[in-house]
Structure 1
Amino acid sequence: MPDKKVLIPLSGDDVAPRFDLAPEVVVVTLDDDGAVLDERAIVLPSASAEILCRLILDEKTDVVVCGGIDDEYFQYLTWKKVKVIDSVIGRYDEVLRRLAAHALAPGDVIRPDQTSKTEISSRD
């Protein structure tokens, strides 16, 4: 499997709760084993789903990890062959670690003191 380029909209140190309101993004390149080859933060000129979609395509992104995303943009990115892992909540570093380990799924809520969705569900 070739290197994978991932884009994650951020709000501070967390995955942004809404795709269209993210003030910045991080673009990460992962190798086959999930090791980070490159990592760049990009501050957006303004929060906008259209700007993000353009950036995603310009960067030739393979995967987008985000919180909430309007169906229109989800469908558009999917149509453009970008995998979207949505409804993810958590700190950026924990989310990236799970993604690199191939253990991230849509709807995951990742808390620093808990390592899996199953543990979260069983404690709630």
Structure 2
Amino acid sequence: MEKILIPIYNQDIAPRFDLATEVVILIREAGNPLPEERMMVLPQASAEQLCHLILSDGISTLICGGIEEEYFQYLSWKKVRILDSVIGPWRKAADLFMEGRLKAGDILRKRRMEGLDGA
């Protein structure tokens, strides 16, 4: 069993780890292609509480936007795999992760091409 935590804001990955008040936890069982999803609303934004949740719940992978170096180093030391600086919809990031194609720094939004509409 593998557990993945993604701090979210609306339908996107939260831009900052320490300001997230909602997370989704994906639980992937061996042999099951679709992970179970659990949404949690946190009582307040706190990097310390998120770190505690990650460690106490046995999270193996964290997918997040920006994260302070202190928390990155601490969670890495605790053997949590971190894919940081990921920007875009959390569901798209989760799908790419499940396919083994998500990398730290991925931007999952399409850029708008301005000036191409003939105006």
Q: TM-score range by the shorter chain?
A: 0.7 to 0.9
Contact 1:30 1:37 in 2 (8 A): yes
Q: Distance in 2 between matches of 1:36 and 1:71?
A: 32
RMSD over aligned Cα, in angstroms?
1.6
User: Identity over the aligned pairs, expressed in percent?
Assistant: 47
Range 23-32 or range 63-72, more displaced: 23-32
1:78 and 2:76 matched: yes
Shift of 1:4: 1.3
AA of the residue aligned to 2:40: I
Contact 1:34 1:100 in 2 (8 A): no
**Residues 99-114 of structure 1 mapped to structure 2, 5 A cutoff:** 99-111=97-109
Q: Distance in 1 between matches of 2:95 and 2:8?
A: 15
The structure richer in helix per residue is: 1
Where does residue 47 of structure 2 map in the other structure?
A: 49
Deviations 1:10-65 (A, max 9, x none): 00100000000001000101235672332100000100100100000111000000
Where does residue 33 of structure 2 map in the other structure?
A: 35
Q: TM-score of the superposition, structure 1-length normalised?
A: 0.84
Query: Unpaired runs of 5+ in structure 1?
Result: 115-124
Number of aligned residue pairs: 111
Which aligned runs of 4 or more in structure 1 are off by greater than 3 angstroms?
A: 31-34
Aligned partner of residue 90 in structure 1, secondary structure: coil
CA distance 1:54–1:91, change in 2 (3 Å): same
Contact 1:34 1:101 in 2 (8 A): no
Range 93-102 or range 30-39, more displaced: 30-39
Q: TM-score of the superposition, structure 2-length normalised?
A: 0.88
Q: Distance in 2 between matches of 1:27 and 1:40?
A: 5
